[in-house]
Amino acid sequence: MLRMRITSKIFGMALAANLGSKSLHTVVMLRHGESLWNMENRFTGWCDVPLTEQGEADAVDAGVLIGERGLKFDVAFTSNLERAWRTCALTLAAAGQSGVETIRSSMLNERHYGALQGHHKDCPKLVEVYGEKKVLEWRRSYHTAPPSLYDGEFLEKIGPAGLLSSAMNDKYIDAQQLNTALNKYPSMTSSIFTANAANDRSIAPTTESLQMCEQRAFGYWKEVIAPRVIAGERVLIVAHANTIRALVKAVDKIDDHKIAHLKIPNGIPLVYTMDETLTPTDVTDKNDELGFHARYLVSARNHEKMMRYESSVQKKMRSLFEYLDVNNDGKITHQCLMNGLARLRNNKTINEQTNTTTTNVDRTDSAQTDLSEYSIEELIRSVPHATDGQEGITLKAFLEAEATLLPHLTNLKLLQ
């Protein structure tokens, strides 16, 4: 992926020391910020819905975080859907890199959900008509596609609401097929849908399984993105949950059936470091059930979301370590812990109800346990070969001390 040219020499040296290679490529993948239909829990697919205010904030936060970590890009790839390209633009602007070449392609568009698009994911009528098992198969199966966008039987049983929602972006709608599908609904007009001369309808699907979406996205990766990564360009990819799943599956060689269970959070950058063959080199948790080797970039703002999405404790700890390592020198000192905890806790005190074991460290008799009062020294001392808080904890020691550190980190709500 992209050859890492970090502006921060210290960060670059720490990265090289951790990964032990002279010719590494790094790529950052980012799912778009929260969209309107994410918020409304609808099947979105190729419908061109905008970001919410929260989604725009997600994008800006990702950009700030990327800038803080010293990541620079030569080229950005994104989809033709607004929620992705808008996220890409906001992220690059917040990272101070608005001038980066940006390439849009519908090959990175979200999986097409066919006639399901526009419907609520918990729509009771879908389950009533087709059964919970079939609806779940449409959503999660690797090989099964939902009913086509123009499926007459589905339109008859469920209604054309999903089709009309899909038609909100006529760039991907065939006007003739749309009129044919809707002609049995005289109360609804399709006159607002016009042909678009500059469109992608020639390659636009009318439904996709996860496998079909993967083949589309992987083809673009193989033919367009990967060659530029191998050539040493620094690459950002801003896309969608399923197209990022497809790229992750290809990079990490994840099993067909396991990949559907990988959750991709909105607005949290995922960083891969790879060798010359584009094989991931940064394997934090060898016991990771999925074999997912990207690293999350964590901030005070996205920390809780990352904890909800990620199941690997080691990956959570790795992300937390990098967040706390504010000097990018591969160590967490006493001061790093203090400052990092304060940021994650929004500079508020930790109420003693958070952890009953802290009741004896309220040294100022304030009925609250301040961050400065909490026994972080004990946490540091519990790590082998890191008894001096000033020398700090290395990543290796931090990960190896998982069993000892986990209760402390959980009590502070830094891990869940």
Does 32 count as an annotated binding residue? yes
Active site residue 110: yes
216 is in an annotated binding site: no
- Annotated binding residue 111: yes
63 is in an annotated binding site: no
Confirm or deny that 101 is annotated as ligand binding.
no
Of these residues, 25, 110, 119, 408, which one is catalytic?
110
Residue 234, annotated as binding a ligand: no
- Is 381 known as a binding-site position? no
Q: Is 42 annotated as a binding residue?
A: no
Tell whether 110 is in a known binding site. yes
Is 44 a known ligand-binding residue? yes
For residue 261, say whether it is annotated as part of any ligand binding site.
no
36 a known binding residue? yes
Residue 290's alpha-carbon distances to 111, 224, 255, in angstroms, are: 21, 26, 8
Active-site position among 25, 32, 293, 408: 32
Is 240 assigned to a binding site? no
Does 363 appear as a known binding residue?
Answer: no
37 is in an annotated binding site: yes
Residue 32 among the catalytic residues: yes
HEC profile of the chain: CEECCCCCHHHHHHHHHHHCCCCCEEEEEEECCCEHHHHHCECCCCCCCCECHHHHHHHHHHHHHHHHCCCCCCEEEECCCHHHHHHHHHHHHHCCCCCCEEEECHHHCCCCCHHHCCCECCCHHHHHHHCHHHHHHHHHCCCCCCCCCCCHHHHHHHCCHHHHHHCCCHHHCCHHHHHHHHCCCCCCCCCCCCCCCCCCCCCCCCCCCHHHHHHHHHHHHHHHHHHHHHCCCCEEEEECHHHHHHHHHHHHCCCHHHHCCCCCCCCCCEEEEECCCCCECCCCCCCCCCCCCCEECCCCCCHHHHHHHCCCHHHHHHHHHHHHCCCCCCEECHHHHHHHHHHHCCCCCECHHHCHHHHHHCCCCCCCECCCCCCHHHHHHCCCCCCCCCCCEEHHHHHHCHHHHHHHHHHCCCCC
46 labelled ligand-binding:
no
Annotated binding site: 31-38, 44-45, 83, 110-113, 121, 139-140
Annotated binding site for substrate: 31-38, 44-45, 83, 110-113, 121, 139-140
Residues catalogued as catalytic: 32, 110
